[in-house]
Amino acid sequence: MFKPLKKKTDDEMVTIHFNDQALQVDATMSVAAALLSHDIRTLRQTLKSQSPRGPFCMMGACFDCLVQIDGATQQACMTMVQEGLKIRSMQQNPENLQDEAEQNASETSGSETGGSGQNSTGADT
């Protein structure tokens, strides 16, 4: 579905893992682009109807590309690949993302934020 403009050499590639599948990808790509280059288009399923979803806008606006990257929920189109990156598709809806985010930010003004260091955004696996 997508063709690379130019074949990259081995030292321009890195290895990433998508659901335990190892993939050789162009080191300059976003995670979403890298997966698309391997014809992987489904990155998650919605909770409500288990409908498959994949990258749609590629500019961080639609949030349909949400995946788990090294344990944290991230937008695949806004994250660059790196050697050894572990990506998992998400079975759960990122439904709570916004609610939690709102709560988090309302706490900023008071600067009352606990420093747990834990990423909270929908990472409930």
Partner 1 sequence: MIYDLVIIGSGPAGMSAARQAAELGLQVALIDEQSQPGGQIYRNVAKASKQQLDILGPDYCAGRALVERLSHEQIVHIAVATVWKVQKDGFVYYTKNGKADFVQGKHILLATGALERACPVPGWTRPGVMTVGSAQILMKAGGLVPDNAILIGSGPLLYLMAVQMLAAGCKPKALLETQTFSSLKSALPLLPRSLAGWVMLSKGLKYLAKLELAGIKRYTGVEQISLHGNENAKATEAASRVQFVHKGKRKELEADLFLLHQGVIPNTQITRSLELAHDWREDQVCFAPQSDEFGRTSCERIHNAGDGAGIGGAYVAALSGPLAALDIAYSLGVISRAVRDEKAKVLLKKRQDALAARPFLDRLYTPPKDWRLPQDETIICRCEEVTAGDIRSYVALGCTGPNQTKAFGRSGMGPCQGRYCGLVVSDILAHETGLSQQEVGSYRIRAPIKPVSIGELASLDR
Under rule CB under 6 A, residue 35 binds ligand FES: no
Instruction: Provide φ and ψ at 105, rounded to 5°.
Output: -70, -35
> Which of partner 1, ligand FES, none interacts with 1 (beta carbon under 5 to 8 A by kind)?
partner 1
How many residues of this chain interact with partner 1, rule: CB under 8 A? Answer: 60
Under rule CB under 8 A, residue 88 binds partner 1: no
Q: Which residues contact 25 (CB under 8 A, 6 or more apart)?
A: 13, 14, 15, 16, 34, 37, 38, 81
Pairing type for strands 13-18 and 86-88 reads: parallel
Reported as type and span, the H/E element at residue 17 is strand 13-18
- For the CB of residue 25, give the shortest distance to partner 1 in the complex, in Å: 10
Under rule CB under 8 A, residue 62 binds partner 1: yes
Under rule CB under 8 A, residue 55 binds partner 1: yes
- For the CB of residue 91, give the shortest distance to partner 1 in the complex, in Å: 14
Question: Which of 15, 46, 88, 92 is the binder for partner 1 (CB under 8 A)?
Answer: 46
CA dist 14 → 28, 41, 46, 54, 90 (Å): 9, 20, 30, 22, 23
> Which of ligand FES, partner 1, none interacts with 7 (beta carbon under 5 to 8 A by kind)?
none
